Structure 1
Amino acid sequence: MHFFRIVALSILLLPAIASAIDLQPNDIAAPVPGKSHVMISYLNTENGTFYRNGSVVSTKPFGSPDIGTQSAIARISTSYAVQDLPAISYIQIPYGTIKPEGSLASYAASTGIGDLTFATAIWPYADREKKKYFGVAAYLSAPTGAYNSQQAFNIGENRYKSDIQMGYQQPIIENLDGMIAVDTMWFGGNSQCAAACFSSTNTSLNQKPLTTTQLGPIYKINQTYTLGASYFYVAGGATTIGNTYQNNVVNTQRFLLSALAYYPFGRISLQYGRDMEIKNGFVESRRLALRFTTEF
């Protein structure tokens, strides 16, 4: 039973993995105050082989798992100044589907509104002339998404999440910048975890903080096109179901490639990535994100 709880919990946490705070190239660059933007994103991920403490699990029903996630995300942001310091705030809401296939096809899919996220960032240091920036951001997700405790797969997580992120960016050589960001996510409890915790009745789910480090180069080809590459290391996030510690620390390495195009009508970005190494959970074999941002 303990093993199956680990498996089911990995299913439960798929939305959290899909909504990790991945930065796009130049997100750490301070915005110009007095601007408002809308961003529409399409996110498509696929998760497959299940790992338990670094080893592949192939026992039924995990012989050939295939979990597809698709979501459309709407974000509205506005930039301003706080005592001459650049700042920005946004509100974001997703709508999506999690669909299990392969050996997990017997599980019900989940479709609906996801959890609402609020974020605010401020730049204590922003030297636009030297293109050096240091920013701090805070995020809060509320349990507004679709959730059914009798289903293993859910778009919503039925718990609050908060995150603090710090990032720094500066030029390395001409047209080439480097960025690094570190964030830690904290999780509220979910007192209605049943199917995803392999329990016939609601039980409690709690999770340790999860820390992500991301770093990489940003190359500006010209005024229109920019490329970026990021390496991610994710650690922590062990869970407890009821009073039982699950011994399922997240230890994941992954990459993300980005291409951005800046046009008069807005910015278009395309990102592709996948896991390189994973210790616990379903390996992410594809992450594809297409985004459009425009001022209004």
Structure 2
Amino acid sequence: MHHPTIRAMFGAIAMLAGSAHGATVDAGDYTRLPDGTNLAVLYAQHVEGKELYSQGTRLSGNARLSADIGILRAVRFIDVGDVTVIPQFLLPFGKLRTGGDLSGLSSTNGIGDLIFAPTVHLIQDSTRKRALAVTPWLYLPTGRYDRNNALNALGENRWKLDLQAGYITPLSDRWSLDLVGDVIWYGRNSDYGSAGATLRQSLSYQAQGHLRYHVDAGTYVAGMLSCEWGGETKVNGASQGDRQQRTKGLLSVGHFVTPTVQLLGSYGRDFSVRTGAREDHRFNLRMVKVF
């Protein structure tokens, strides 16, 4: 098996855990809430897959990969003049496991890279049904990382910036549409692999669309379609042939169980993958406390 393919298999684990993706949001995330609103958010995610791909060719149908990831998120809405600013911090943590053809790789767990994501709203719609906002998701290299461990999806040992724009518009009294686009810049990892090589990565991109049906004021059902592309890596200047092209879908149901607590459950999977692990099943659970 040639060297880039091995790198692709290891990199696939990071993709499965989500660290190599753009910031996939939930439907309604770009809703502008009143000044002074605080949100405490807890995510629990389980992802599993067994197929690995390299340049569109399946490498294995029994490379079992799974991830259990949690995320703590703190959000505050602040009006500065005519602009709404939303400073927020996210801290991922969790455990990754392998089996089948990758059973020789040990599992790993720990805390991931801290994320700072200050959203700025550009539309002040008094009805709060329309929104246009930008978010620079800044990933700080604070998570657990060991260059001798092939499983390093929780900490990437590099800076990363995901510049994201989101737009929400109502289509009718019951339907609304969320459109989100990302462009991602990757910093250099100068301690990659057991030899301490230098890893660089080209820009990657993501486009998301969420169609929501509002059952009532506190309940909605949403479908999401996402496409990702780009992000080829180089190790000590040698291209790894791992340019990404991924299409995935997600079905979600959100409901306010009390006036200040929302639960959101989602199920999703990949439809196609060019490089990396194909997600067979993704289960997301999110709890939001408004105060």
- Both structures adopt the same fold (TM-score exceeding 0.5): yes
Q: Does 1:264 align with 2:259?
A: yes
Letter in 2 for 1:112: G
Give the structure 1 partner of residue 237 of structure 2: 243
* Counterpart-to-counterpart distance in 1, 2:85 and 2:23: 18
Give the structure 2 partner of residue 280 of structure 1: 275
Structure 2 contact 15–277 (Cα < 8 Å) conserved: no
SS state of the match for residue 4, structure 1? helix
Pairing partner for 1:220 from 207, 214, 218: 214
- Any residues of structure 2 matched to 1:96-245 within 5 Å, and which? 96-129=94-127, 131-154=129-152, 155-194=154-193, 200-245=194-239
Give the structure 2 partner of residue 255 of structure 1: 249
Deviates more, 1:117-126 or 1:19-28: 19-28
Displacement of 1:13 in angstroms is: 4.6
* Counterpart-to-counterpart distance in 1, 2:65 and 2:138: 26
* Counterpart-to-counterpart distance in 2, 1:34 and 1:213: 30
Deviates more, 1:255-264 or 1:8-17: 8-17
The unaligned stretches of length 5 or more in structure 1 are 195-199
SS state of the match for residue 22, structure 1? coil
Structure 1 contact 209–236 (Cα < 8 Å) conserved: yes
Aligned identity (percent) is 26
In structure 2, relative to structure 1, the CA distance for the partners of 1:122 and 1:250 (3 Å cut) is same
* Counterpart-to-counterpart distance in 2, 1:55 and 1:275: 16
* Counterpart-to-counterpart distance in 2, 1:16 and 1:170: 27
Letter in 1 for 2:249: F
Q: Does 1:292 align with 2:290?
A: no
Displacement of 1:3 in angstroms is: 2.8
The unaligned stretches of length 5 or more in structure 2 are none
What TM-score do the two structures reach when normalised by structure 2?
A: 0.94
Structure 2 contact 14–20 (Cα < 8 Å) conserved: no
Query: Over the residues paired in the alignment, what is the CA RMSD in angstroms?
Result: 1.6
Letter in 2 for 1:168: Y
Can you list the C-alpha shifts for 1:37-85, whole angstroms capped at 9, x where unaligned? 1101101111321111111113xxxx51111100221111111012221
Can you list the C-alpha shifts for 1:122-144, whole angstroms capped at 9, x where unaligned? 11113233722111111111111
SS state of the match for residue 21, structure 1? coil
Displacement of 1:5 in angstroms is: 2.8
In structure 2, relative to structure 1, the CA distance for the partners of 1:13 and 1:177 (3 Å cut) is closer
Displacement of 1:7 in angstroms is: 2.6
Letter in 2 for 1:232: S
What TM-score do the two structures reach when normalised by structure 1?
A: 0.92
